[in-house]
Structure 1
């Protein structure tokens, strides 16, 4: 029974995901592995199911839609509970969310601020504060497993190839993104 006790709550169905949430001791071990560089990236599969969709099969967990929405708050959570908590450095956060991801998939000219790279930038506001709720997000769902989490920091502005697509936390321009072909990095190929 290595599961988090949240699954015993009346609303535990909303936390059904793979892998499942673990106990705090396991979470601490994961943070240590992140700090030690044993974990290269922090991602989310981002499954934005509604509460009604989750509750529809609450009597049989194997039928409950598996997954939770999380991509919008990933950076804030990593900054708050990683950087601000002293578990990782800001440089490690950047590597986990950008640099290592670009290297992993062999995406040239992305993932780091360097001469000759594309101007894809996130302007981070380290002083922004807020509380995540079930509704203060742009995701297509009415629940958040992070509801009532206090967060510090936010992506204030986002530029894609130098074009502002988010300004002051609000979407400013749609349709700028493009598919980037990638290759699996030699670092991750099996012999």
Structure 2
């Protein structure tokens, strides 16, 4: 991921405040529109300080995460409002915590928990997202099996419906 200077981010944000659009600024400074939007929103909600480069991503304790989510729920706040209050740079951080709790319960925020993945998901999550020929063949076989199973179930359903219709006619 490309790092941009604090000065450049601030310059872009200030120009956006003057009324320039995301597309124009992204093209002018050769950055993504997503970055322009993110920097502007972060600046707007959390102030100028948030545009400064961090040496490393902040880490939060499990207790802090629980507190933030509980506070958000009790006060019926959006992710943006919650991020503002707790000075969390990315609203997606809070959303990810919430998703973990929704999927895994309150123990889901514990970093030591390993989540179960689908076999296909595991293959696709490789760094380069490139599949080996063996993996492609395995997926093709699985797809063929699932198609056959689907066809079988459709025929079974049709047979059952046909049998039910015949018994209804007899009655």
TM-score, length basis structure 1: 0.21
Which of structures 1 and 2 has the bigger CA Rg?
2
TM-score, length basis structure 2: 0.23
Tell me: higher relative CO, structure 1 or 2? Use CA pairs within 8 A at least 6 residues apart.
1
Q: Greater helix percent: which structure?
A: 2
